Structures are given as structure tokens and as C-alpha cells.
Amino acid sequence: MEESSKIDVSICVITYNQEAYILDTLKGIFDQKGNFNTELIISDDCSTDNTLSTINIFLKEETKPNIKVEVISHHKNQGATRNFFKTLNRASGEYIAICEGDDYWIDSTKLIKQIEILEKNADCSFCFHKAKVLKNGQFEQVTYPTFFFKERLNVNDFFLLDSIPTCSVFFRKTNLRSFKKIKNSHGDFLLFCKLLELGKAYYLNEVMAVYRKHLGGISFHFSSEKYLNNRITELKGEVKFFENDQILKQINISRMRLKYKFFKNFGKNQTFKMRFILILDLLTNKYFISYYFKNKFNL
């Protein structure tokens, strides 16, 4: 990449009560090699612990000539999704990387590799890679994702993966302002769907980050009754943001799978009437029968 005064890469970090983890995040960012012009945008969502002071102390002691830093401190809690998109929309770089304040990068050439991939693959709108999973202080044996058979993924290929680590995502800047008013959702899911409307995903089969699971993280509660109920409702409203038929289909399949998971895990706690409604809803879903017998859901 040629040297210029413009911002080449924006690194977006959102934080909330992550004083125990944020130093790992910042060290991984400042360890990155490459002379490209970088902006680091850290948006703290009204943390009630020492996250913000920990950030400021680190930044006083650590500087790099090619990194311009902006720290945003919200005085009123925005919510994770709104903070996520506010931060991404503030980015001015040609490319955008994400690392939330409880995850961290472990390969100092991560950004160099991802820039090269997108510059060589014009039809790809983003790329991602594997991460180690750190759960309650212990590394799990498998990586996230565990394995995939292709490098270049279209919409249907991508949705064969249950999910990908947000801290691995690197994408071409695009307009995300249509999502700015969303308060409750999965910001990363909406981002991936938007990027898949613009191009393919590129899978880099290397471990270059650590994805942390802990009690304060959203992913720790993915199987709870409250989470499943809320997520089913959210997905119903998210279809309005997309026009691509394959993406709409995959969103509806994702919603159906969550309904089935809810029925399997919590159906017995429902009234007879509610159980009947859940069963009828699944059996009349045009994706349910074929998908069930083909995949057995593996839940």
C-alpha cells in the first residue's frame, strides 16, 4: 500500500466494563506491524468500572507515529449495538478492523495479511480468520471456527458457519447508517449480512486472535430462554434492512432454527396452548421439514 496522508485502516474498539481485559486488546493493536496510516477509535459505553482510566493510562505510555487515537466516552449508556454502529460509522479508513474490548489479536502481521487479501480479491467485501477461544481463563481445544472447506464464500457458504469471531473481521468501508438507530440486536450479524450484499467473504485459515467467553459477555448466554425469545423477535425485524433473496432466506432459516431450539430446550415449561402454537409454527414453516431431515439441527 502506498504511503499517503489519508487513513488506510480504522480500528474500532467498543468497550463496556472491561477493565480486566482491555489492556490485552490495546497491546494486540499496538503490536501490529506495517507503516500504513491507522486511526484507532475507542468508544466506551459509560463503563462503571476503571475501563476508561485503564485506557487513558496505557495511551499516555504507548504511542506509535502511524496511529491516530480517538477515545469517545459516552455519558449515557448507548447499548452495545448502537455503540457498535456509531463507532463504525465514525471510521474514515479505506478498511475497517474490529476488536471488542474483551478480545485481542495475537499475530502482529494480521492487518498486513488482511490488507493484502482484500487488495488481491476485489470481489470480496470482507475477510475473517480463526481465533482461539478463551473460556473462564482456559483455552478450549478447538479453534473458532473449527474448520471450513473454502476460502471464498458466497452467502450460502457463509451461513454454513454458525458464526465467526467479530475480532477477526476486516472489511472495506461502506455506509452503515441505516443501522444507526437500532438499539437491541446483534450488530455483527447485521454487519455480515450487509457486507455479503456487497461481495464475498474471504476465509483466512490462520489463528490470529483470541475470542474470550466470560459471564459478562453476550455469547455466554446464547442458550438462555430470555436470549432466545429476544433474538427470535429481533430477527423478525431485521429482514427489512436487506433486499438480497439469499440473505433474506438465511435470516428466516436462522429464526426458524432458534424457534426449534427454544421448543426443544424450553417447550416443556410452556402452557399446552403455547406448545401447540410453537409446533404449528414450525410445521408450517417452509424451511423446517427439509432442513430438519437434512441437518438434524445438531443442537
Domain boundary among 165, 186, 214: 214
Residues in the chain, overall count: 299
C-alpha cell at 245: 433473496
Q: Is the dihedral of CA 91, 95, 96, 97 positive or negative?
A: negative
- How far is Cα 95 from Cα 291, in angstroms, rounded to an integer? 36
What phi and psi, each to the nearest 5 degrees, are found at residue 213? -110, 125
Is 234 found in the same domain as 125?
A: no
Is 38 found in the same domain as 184?
A: yes
In a domain, 3, yes or no: no
Is 174 found in the same domain as 32?
A: yes
In a domain, 98, yes or no: yes
Is 238 found in the same domain as 187?
A: no
Is 66 found in the same domain as 185?
A: yes
In order along its 299 residues, the chain shows pLDDT tens digits of 444 568 899 999 999 999 999 999 999 999 999 989 999 999 999 999 999 999 999 999 999 999 999 999 999 999 999 999 999 999 999 999 999 999 999 999 999 999 999 999 999 999 999 999 999 889 999 999 987 889 999 999 999 998 999 999 999 999 999 998 888 789 999 999 999 999 999 999 999 999 998 776 665 566 789 999 999 999 999 999 999 999 999 999 999 999 999 998 999 999 999 999 999 999 999 889 877 777 664 54
Q: Hey, is 227 helix, strand or coil? A: helix
Domain count, the chain: 2
In a domain, 208, yes or no: yes
Q: Hey, is 9 helix, strand or coil? A: strand
Domain of residue 204, residue span: 9-214
